[in-house]
Structure 1
């Protein structure tokens, strides 16, 4: 069960379920990945479509969106998150009239909370206080990356919260960073060619706990969905999780629904939620 969620006090209660979900490779998918026919564009960048949802996931989400709270929890920066437009596009550059944007989103690995698309300053201030003891290690990581022979991209401090770059040999870059940095203060992570150095105090699990404490009137069942190491910290905070099978052993007490071979994770999520909502309405 979901730890902190059970300790919430109730204001004007809203008992609709909450879905805390990662975005990339959980809810939306790169144009490079095959997700079947009828897919729906959800992200356009520099004039071309770069991300899609499956037709089933998109249609189900749009149908049930008023019956639950969908809260993206993403490592994307604010600007990257804002490129995602649920409800699809009418063309490569045109936004659909049926746009849906969740009221809340946790971006920057939980460092920012967006409410109706705008960053909440009190949340950001608290996040910066949480990572204050990590700043020296982030600067050291950036100094190391500046001279890394395998780095293939600029070094970014994402929304002031963590360090990001890319490497032609990411395993070697991560090895060098891990050998030099304090693992008690920052973690070094790789996702394909991408390399991250993230404060240990800044993770998605902490962000979800903070959200549930702050918005304690949301008393509904909690679902959590993700596909990568970044998501492990919050997957076990819900009543039910959705993730690839390889993550199931990574979080204590995790009760997960996993896609079978050939299934798309987002379809598994929305099929389950549709059945749960139907059962609740009977």
Structure 2
């Protein structure tokens, strides 16, 4: 018998005509990690091998474990892999991972759909029309967040692609009262807020990752949707999925977010990203056939 690459004595391949699987993954703090968010809980000598997943101005910025990278390469070959991120298109294109420009990707928290790296104008127009009809204008929210009454805990802010506002904050100084007041103010105007690490997002309600992902599944029906994410902005894609997984860290973990179809990783930090991708890969139907030499 010929021994395969996995050492089992069997070759593995996806069953022709087997159920199709779509894997939708948030990026930051789900499958890619900055140096500050890795949260490695091991000695330096036993740390996992890492691969650079993002470079900014010549400096490595985000990473995956080598094992996670290898699993992602398999997912791109054997499933439909969809990156789903709050990053702008420009920020997303800095992320150099397998499958980045293959098939669909969701950026700008769902305001932009990319197909093979090209923006879908039909989806952009649909989102813009919905925001204009249902939400307070961007400049009103920008003035509220970054104007004269801006709390000192908000260090700086930026408008992302004329869609939403995000701020870098001092978490230690950002009060619960401010977050509660801001949430109520936004809700009355058709906006939502989400705090992720040191970033505070103000996003129009129609701009969601789940709406964009549902559109992709409508255009490309699959038998199973697997989704992963760590923040409140990812909750919708986890609810949309047939199977979901989140890391044991982040905004959803802090609120003990749970669903009947949801698994929580046993690890946290960058190692959880590896566990998430392995979970997704385990959903791909495989037929093992003995190979006789």
TM-score where L is the length of structure 1: 0.80
Return the match for 1:281 from 287, 290, 293. Answer: 287
**Which ranges of structure 1 fall in alignment gaps of 5 or more residues?**
1-12, 88-98
What pairs up with 1:140-219 in 2 under 5 angstroms? 140-144=140-144, 145-147=146-148, 148-150=150-152, 151-154=154-157, 156-168=158-170, 169-171=173-175, 173-178=178-183, 180-183=185-188, 185-213=190-218, 215-216=219-220, 218-219=221-222
Return the match for 2:33 from 16, 29, 42. Answer: 29
Tell me, in whole angstroms, the C-alpha distance in 1 between the residues paired with 2:142 and 2:268.
39
The structural deviation recorded for 1:27 is: 1.1
> What is the aligned partner in structure 2 of residue 19 from structure 1?
23
> What is the aligned partner in structure 2 of residue 136 from structure 1?
136
The structural deviation recorded for 1:14 is: 9.3
The structural deviation recorded for 1:138 is: 3.1
The structural deviation recorded for 1:85 is: 0.3
Tell me, in whole angstroms, the C-alpha distance in 1 between the residues paired with 2:230 and 2:156.
24
Give the number of the structure with larger relative contact order, counting CA–CA contacts within 8 Å between residues 6 or more apart. 2
> What is the aligned partner in structure 2 of residue 113 from structure 1?
113
Report which stretch shifted further, 157-166 or 20-29: 157-166
**Which ranges of structure 2 fall in alignment gaps of 5 or more residues?**
1-16, 41-46, 289-293
The structural deviation recorded for 1:37 is: 2.3
The structural deviation recorded for 1:15 is: 4.7
- Give SS of 1:130's match: helix
> What is the aligned partner in structure 1 of residue 13 from structure 2?
none
Tell me, in whole angstroms, the C-alpha distance in 1 between the residues paired with 2:198 and 2:178.
10
Conserved? CA contact 1:134–1:186, under 8 Å: no
Cα root mean square deviation, aligned: 2.5
State yes or no: 1:82 paired with 2:93.
Answer: yes
Tell me, in whole angstroms, the C-alpha distance in 2 between the residues paired with 1:269 and 1:261.
10
What pairs up with 1:43-54 in 2 under 5 angstroms? 43-54=54-65
State yes or no: 1:124 paired with 2:124.
Answer: yes
The structural deviation recorded for 1:38 is: 0.8
The structural deviation recorded for 1:86 is: 1.0
Q: Any idea what the Cα deviations from partners look like across 1:53-94, whole Å, max 9, x if unmatched?
A: 11111011113421001101110000000000015xxxxxxx
The structural deviation recorded for 1:31 is: 1.9
> What is the aligned partner in structure 1 of residue 242 from structure 2?
239
Higher share of residues assigned strand: 2
- Give SS of 2:265's match: coil
- Give SS of 2:82's match: strand
Tell me, in whole angstroms, the C-alpha distance in 1 between the residues paired with 2:162 and 2:19.
35
Conserved? CA contact 2:245–2:263, under 8 Å: yes
Tell me, in whole angstroms, the C-alpha distance in 2 between the residues paired with 1:44 and 1:231.
24
Return the match for 2:71 from 53, 60, 64. Answer: 60
Tell me, in whole angstroms, the C-alpha distance in 1 between the residues paired with 2:74 and 2:215.
29
Larger radius of gyration: 2
> What is the aligned partner in structure 2 of residue 255 from structure 1?
261
Tell me, in whole angstroms, the C-alpha distance in 2 between the residues paired with 1:179 and 1:236.
24
State the 4+ residue runs in structure 1 displaced beyond 6 angstroms. Answer: none
Tell me, in whole angstroms, the C-alpha distance in 2 between the residues paired with 1:153 and 1:210.
34
- Give SS of 1:276's match: coil
State yes or no: 1:269 paired with 2:279.
Answer: no
Conserved? CA contact 2:75–2:81, under 8 Å: no
Return the match for 1:38 from 34, 49, 62. Answer: 49
